[in-house]
Structure 1
Amino acid sequence: MKPNVIDEIVKNDLCIGCGTCAGICPQKTLKIQDNEYGEYIPSETRECNSGCGLCLEVCPFSNSENETEIGTKIYGNIEGMNYLPETGYYLDSYVGYSNKFRRSSASGGMTTWFLTKLLKEGIVDYIVCPTPRKNPEKLFSFEILSDENSVKSASGSAYYPVEMSEVIQKIQEIPGHYAVTGLPCFIKALRLATQKNKKLRERIIVTIGLVCGQMKSKNYTKYIAALAGNNNFNKIQSVYYRGKSPEKPVSDYYYQFIDENDSRYKIFWSEGVSEAWINRWFTPNACNYCDDVFAELADVTFMDAWLPEYSKDSMGTNLLLVRSPEVLDIIQNGINKLEITASKISVEKVIQSQSGVLELKRKQLSHRLYLAQQKGLKIPEKRVNPSKDIGLLKKREIKLKALMQEESKQIFLDNCQSQRVDVKTFRSRMNPFVRQTYQLRLLGKFTLLPMRAIKRICK
């Protein structure tokens, strides 16, 4: 019998919770549910007797084909196609914003414009994307949308786990042309699934990718809500993750939580959100083994323009990497009709905008792979090789953040009683780790310190 996703992925803490395995399982023996840490994982509803191994073959963290190999099949023979190790395949790159949706969107509104354009032009019948729900235990879920107003209502970033099992099943049941949005690992899972399933291959005709540095669990949102002043997460009805303020740069956006009484709790990135994000609190373990920054298997990838010339604009600006000739035509059409304000930008600038994520997913990944090997852990094959040599300070930073990643999950459970979060105790237990990372940053500014002193502090 072939190995399955439970034995190879879930039991080795490598599951990202995309739900593709459950969505494509011919026996429907898998069900997606969240674990105690607020992360989605599959479980068996009954013993699988087929032994087909399909669930493992579509898993983005199994040792199936990598993004370069799959990308070559999809995009390698397209005229004018380019390739870089950082971005994967690409035809062209753009910077700009939607004239209609910029103000109401998390960034430049280009993703919302593109999705509504696909429906308006009749290119697709359905859009599959994360959509808000007024349910404290499931604030977002993947939904199939068929009208522009629904797509507009679903616009905005969602730093919240979602899974695709139900929509993948529905795509197989309901004929039509679909466009699907997703993070890099989700798009990879879909590409693997379309190789195995004819209906998915014929019906999913456009894939839209988003740049991703890491995913977050449901407990991340509960913690930030408590930090904002609402520590009874059972009463949260909705959350908006990327609010813009005219008096602040676009990088200092705010999260807003609304409870059942329509009370609103707001907290800015600089008021504690960044601490949890940058230090990888509430991040699934699978994110430690991702090397895809630019959603290399998506027909178009959208991202924030984190560049000095754009990041101070509170309205927000998008960067785009286009891999499909059809998408390229849609972008050019939007420019000609003045629906979007966009122009070409060098791919080097696009890469520069995500330099921090590239550092995390390439250079630091190599050392995380080495550490995992030293511990005898099962790890997926990646396009970077394990490496011991990364620099003394960076080694310590990686270990510290890995420790915070794990500790944040358990400490949160320890300080979450009767649906309430004890933020003060949680932060007091995390503060020793935060202080150490602060000391490391200071050390990084004083490279002339004697190596002996640095080694002593890093112990």
Structure 2
Amino acid sequence: MTDSALLKSTVVEGGYCVGCGACAAVPGSPVTMKMDEAGRLQARFDGVDEARTSLRAVCPFSDLAVNENIIGEALFAKEGAQPDARVGWYRDVWAGYVSEGDFRKRGSSGGMGNWLAAELLSSGEVDAVVHVRPDIDGRLFGFTISRSTVELKAGSKSRYYPVEMSSVFKEMRDNPGRYALVGVPCFIKAARLMARNDAVIDQGLRYTISLVCGHLKSDGFAKMFGWQLGILPNRLRAIDFRVKNDDGRANQYSITASGEDAAGQDVTRTRQNKDFFGYLWSHGLFKYRACDYCDDVFGETADVTVGDAWLPGLVDDPRGTNVVVSRNPRISALIEAGLASGRLTLDTITADAAAKSQDAGLRHRRQGLAVRLARARRKGRWAPPKRVQPEAAKEIEYRQRLVYETRETLSERSHDAFSKAVKTGSFETFKAEVSPLMKFHDFINQHKTLKSMVRAIVKPKRG
């Protein structure tokens, strides 16, 4: 079996393609990236295979992919960083925000991701930044290359939407230069794998900025919010997933969507996130299966990682605060200079504190992954090799295993349920399909022991 056929039979047909586009960017690749019926970008093998590099070697979920520990050690051990099993290699860890300009206001959290990219660009460290911006090639969002800070600012904020990198990799190859890449952990890993197998990409990829990641979403996630605001699923024109409120907590933000309603009118509407059906990330609606088989929350192969500071005291500020994990001495120097000049407001924190800011995500990606790997083994299904081992599932209490298995089932069912709802023209169809599983998940997740669950179901008679 050829290399591309192996990739197709394992990663793609197994449902583990995250849609990053690395395999499609290999010269001579038979792969193109296309949206599937569930609104996920997926690899499609519809061309002649003349690939000069192994496609599996650049896929972050293949059996040939070098894992995050190996990549991280090769990149950062010699730079004076130290390893941590949760956040990866690190030199410096901070929590805070950007004080200068409107970076914080425009960002999802404290504005650090966009500030770092802008600083690399304006200081001459890079010629361009590869990042996600709205309205690219007819899609709500897509990867693009910005060569000015004005262009770069249009890419502020988190985008919970399917995107892929094949076109920007090709542009980097066709136009050699110094690039910074902003992306989620598996996309940064894919870029590192590309660099290991492509001399031009290796030379051009100077810095990587990772976003702390919960998981990727299909386009159904955006359509679900738009539909609840009265915008038809296929008439959604724009969406802002993270609109900051003037008060409340940082995780109590709003969502704004624009598009056409059932009367044919163009509308723009906003609603608080907690007032939407399906907004909770713990339910995992519209999640890519690949995300349930990833053990990297903190973008361990990136030069620097930024995320939400979901920590006591910090989460209470609606303006947003970042956790920043630096692994690169040059990035640390840029941040230290920003602190010294008063452009940044940051406090040094420990790796433990950074990990606690993503405690639930780490638990789901490590403990939960062991359960999912064990489940795949029981079913005789191929799964990507991970740093987490399926044997660890034996040590996890039954109720917690059930929580993880229910989440995986709920995520997978949500795709078909939404497609069915769109065909029937009724959002209530979607709710009816997924609500029972959501309620079951919440019940078993609320009761921390099996005994508590049984007591809640079988209440003792009084008499």
TM-score under structure 1 length normalisation: 0.93
Residue number in structure 2 paired with 1:186: 187
- CA change 1:200–1:423 in 2 (3 A) is same
Runs of 4+ in 1 over 3 A off after TM superposition: 273-276, 446-449, 451-457
Per-residue deviation, 1:304: 0.6
> What are the ranges of 5 or more consecutive residues in structure 1 without an aligned counterpart?
none
Per-residue deviation, 1:405: 1.1
Residue number in structure 1 paired with 2:417: 411
Residue number in structure 1 paired with 2:109: 107
SS of 2:313's equivalent?
helix
Amino acid at match of 1:422: S
Residue number in structure 1 paired with 2:398: 392
* In 1, Cα distance between equivalents of 2:170 and 2:383: 29
Amino acid at match of 2:14: N
Residue number in structure 1 paired with 2:287: 283
The 5-angstrom pairing of residues 296-315 of structure 1 reads: 296-315=300-319
Per-residue deviation, 1:44: 2.2
SS of 2:297's equivalent?
coil
| Mapped contact 1:3–1:53 kept (Cα < 8 A) | no
Per-residue deviation, 1:53: 5.7
Q: CA RMSD in A?
A: 2.0
| Mapped contact 2:131–2:182 kept (Cα < 8 A) | yes
- CA change 1:296–1:134 in 2 (3 A) is closer
- Deviates most, 107-116 or 421-430: 421-430
| Mapped contact 1:367–1:389 kept (Cα < 8 A) | no
* In 1, Cα distance between equivalents of 2:254 and 2:57: 39
- Of the three residues 18, 21, 35, the one matched with 1:19 is 21
* In 1, Cα distance between equivalents of 2:206 and 2:458: 56
Residue number in structure 1 paired with 2:169: 168
* In 1, Cα distance between equivalents of 2:454 and 2:46: 56
Residue number in structure 1 paired with 2:336: 332
Residue number in structure 1 paired with 2:251: 251
| CA displacement, residues 177-231 of structure 1 (integer Å, 9 cap, x when unaligned) | 000011110011110110110100011100000111211001111112112322x
Amino acid at match of 1:393: R
SS of 2:305's equivalent?
strand
Residue number in structure 2 paired with 1:207: 208
Per-residue deviation, 1:269: 2.1
| Mapped contact 1:134–1:238 kept (Cα < 8 A) | no
* In 2, Cα distance between equivalents of 1:195 and 1:259: 42
- Of the three residues 128, 133, 151, the one matched with 2:130 is 128
Per-residue deviation, 1:384: 1.1
Per-residue deviation, 1:65: 1.3
Amino acid at match of 1:214: H
Per-residue deviation, 1:430: 1.5
SS of 1:363's equivalent?
helix
Amino acid at match of 2:86: E
* In 1, Cα distance between equivalents of 2:446 and 2:187: 37
| Mapped contact 1:76–1:89 kept (Cα < 8 A) | yes
The 5-angstrom pairing of residues 231-250 of structure 1 reads: 232-250=232-250
Residue number in structure 2 paired with 1:83: 83
* In 2, Cα distance between equivalents of 1:388 and 1:13: 25
| CA displacement, residues 232-257 of structure 1 (integer Å, 9 cap, x when unaligned) | 13322211110011132111111110
Residue number in structure 2 paired with 1:197: 198
| Mapped contact 2:16–2:289 kept (Cα < 8 A) | yes
Residue number in structure 1 paired with 2:370: 366
> What are the ranges of 5 or more consecutive residues in structure 2 without an aligned counterpart?
none
Is 1:60 the counterpart of 2:60? The answer is: yes
* In 2, Cα distance between equivalents of 1:452 and 1:424: 31
| CA displacement, residues 393-448 of structure 1 (integer Å, 9 cap, x when unaligned) | 1122122212211111111111113xx8521121122121122123213422x775
* In 1, Cα distance between equivalents of 2:42 and 2:451: 47
- Of the three residues 335, 345, 356, the one matched with 1:352 is 356
* In 2, Cα distance between equivalents of 1:158 and 1:433: 26
Amino acid at match of 1:84: D
Amino acid at match of 1:235: R
| CA displacement, residues 32-89 of structure 1 (integer Å, 9 cap, x when unaligned) | 1110011111112323155x5611110000122110011111111223x111111111
* In 1, Cα distance between equivalents of 2:29 and 2:371: 38
Is 1:319 the counterpart of 2:323? The answer is: yes
* In 2, Cα distance between equivalents of 1:361 and 1:272: 25
Per-residue deviation, 1:168: 0.2
* In 2, Cα distance between equivalents of 1:7 and 1:59: 13
- Deviates most, 204-213 or 111-120: 111-120
The 5-angstrom pairing of residues 212-231 of structure 1 reads: 212-230=213-231
| Mapped contact 1:183–1:210 kept (Cα < 8 A) | yes
Amino acid at match of 1:405: S
SS of 1:360's equivalent?
helix
Query: Percent identity, aligned pairs only?
Result: 31
| Mapped contact 2:19–2:42 kept (Cα < 8 A) | yes
- Of the three residues 119, 142, 150, the one matched with 2:121 is 119
TM-score under structure 2 length normalisation: 0.92
Aligned residue pairs, count = 448
Per-residue deviation, 1:452: 6.3
- CA change 1:241–1:273 in 2 (3 A) is farther
Per-residue deviation, 1:112: 1.3
Is 1:402 the counterpart of 2:396? The answer is: no
